Amino acid sequence: MNVVSTKRRWKASSYKFSELASDERLWIIDALGLASALEVPQKVLWQLTFDKRDWNRYLIPKRRKGLRELWVPGHLRKSVLYGILRRILDLLPPSENAMAYFKSLSILKNAKKHEGNKYLLKLDLTNFFPSITKKNIKKEMQKIGIGEEAAYLIAQIATDPHGRLSQGSPASPALSNLVMREFDEEVSKMLAGMFNESVVYTRYSDDLAFSTKDEEAKRWLFNEGEEEIGRLVTAHGFKLNTRKTAKRSPGGKLWVTGFNIFRPNNSSPVHVGAPRRIRDKLKAMVHNVSCVGVGEHNIHTVAIAQKLARRDPGRVMELMDVAARKHSAALLGFAQMYANGDDRCTPYLVSLKKMLSRLDSGN
């Protein structure tokens, strides 16, 4: 049965994204249990397992050079993956070291973990998502109590035609945290055994950050520590991107996910700070919104709205209004995050709130 005929019999919009209790997850042992948990027909799960033609391949330019391969699931598969995310994965808190892809976590909280430390080692994992295979996913699913058949189905549905985790899937971030849990625990245990709690380790997706104030810990991190961590990375099926390895001391830039974690010349208590480029970006946002309004400011969102309304030209203005409101929320969220970490960003947040409030009221 092809995807189209199945979608006619079962609509993804019929989902009830309520969460399952931990004891309910234990009953997901086979295809029937998984289908019941997700409220999806079994035949849909088996179809998505063996028929991967609904994956769409895109090539996206990287920031510096080269192209990034991105596999995006079709509508039906994406809906099932959202069900797996809401019903199962959202109930699994990541390790204490993971700072991404879970509610209440952010780049600011990641930076604050390293606040005030003088020495920083940053490592990057290359091809992070594609390095996670269906075998890894099945193994970790079984560890949390999912049955072998159900774990097999989840692993098959969540991976692209090459059997790898794709960045374009809604469940991939949470699955990556699940797979990396054991690695995070091993690194934390190793560091705690050697330096007690003097070394801070966090992982924001594929970015690993280690910081300390201790001189002895710094010497270890900058020398044999990098090699030891590299061996653990390799043992778990990943590879370090050595071009992005960075060792920083107070004389250099101590940036963690966009925030400065140590400012020795600041008379106030040491706290994370937003870089100048972010403050300039916030200033430009305030200026652009004040000059042309939020809708025109986000030309990409407007273009998307116009594209969606091609079949119904009468809805162009309605969709542009919706797009503008979503963009307003995104602007405020962006400004709020940096204002929480650096008081110098607060004036821009206040200005944005006032202008967006006036625009929303039509004044």
State pLDDT tens for residues 152-171: 999 999 999 999 999 889 99
Helix 75-87 / helix 42-50 crossing angle, nearest 10 deg: 120
Beta strand ranges found along the chain (DSSP E): 56-61, 67-72, 119-124, 199-204, 207-212, 246-248, 255-256, 259-260
Q: Which residues contact 72 (CB under 8 A, 6 or more apart)?
A: 55, 56, 57, 58, 78, 166, 168, 169
Question: In terms of DSSP H, where are the helices of 298-315?
Answer: 299-308
pLDDT at 286: 78
206-210, 231-235, 244-248, 271-275: the lowest-pLDDT one: 271-275
- Which tokens hold the place of 74? 């079709």
Going by pLDDT thresholds of 50, 70 and 90, the confidence category of residue 16 is very low
Whole-prediction pTM: 0.78
pLDDT at 269: 44
Q: Using the predicted structure, report yes or no on whether residue 15 has a pLDDT greater than 50.
A: no
pLDDT at 139: 95
Q: Using the predicted structure, report yes or no on whether residue 5 has a pLDDT greater than 60.
A: no
CA-to-CA distance for 283 and 279, rounded, in angstroms? 6
- Which tokens hold the place of 280? 């300039």
Q: What DSSP letter does each residue of 197-227 carry, written as one string?
A: TSEEEEEETTEEEEEES-HHHHHHIIIIIHH
CA 26 to chain centre: 27
Residue (of 160, 112, 108) closest to 132 by Cα position: 160
Going by pLDDT thresholds of 50, 70 and 90, the confidence category of residue 110 is very high
Convert the pLDDT of each residue in 211-236 to its tens digit.
Answer: 999 999 999 999 999 999 999 999 99
Question: What is the mean predicted confidence (pLDDT) over 14-32?
Answer: 58
Cβ-based burial of 214 (10 A; exposed 0-12, middle 13-18, buried ≥19): middle
Q: Which residues contact 150 (CB under 8 A, 6 or more apart)?
A: 28, 29, 30, 31, 33, 34, 141
Say which residue, 289 or 6, is predicted with more confidence. Answer: 289
Cβ-based burial of 259 (10 A; exposed 0-12, middle 13-18, buried ≥19): buried
pLDDT at 91: 87
Convert the pLDDT of each residue in 99-109 to its tens digit.
Answer: 999 988 888 89
pLDDT at 6: 33
- Which tokens hold the place of 33? 């249990």
CA-to-CA distance for 149 and 42, rounded, in angstroms? 12
Give the chain's count of helices (H) and strands (E): 15, 8
CA-to-CA distance for 59 and 75, rounded, in angstroms? 19
209, 120 in Cβ contact below 8 A? Answer: yes
Q: What is the dihedral of CA 68, 74, 76, 77, to 10 degrees?
A: -30
- Which tokens hold the place of 228? 């030891």
DSSP state of 158: H
Q: Using the predicted structure, report yes or no on whether residue 311 has a pLDDT greater than 60.
A: no
CA-to-CA distance for 140 and 217, rounded, in angstroms? 32
Convert the pLDDT of each residue in 167-190 to its tens digit.
Answer: 889 999 999 999 999 999 999 999
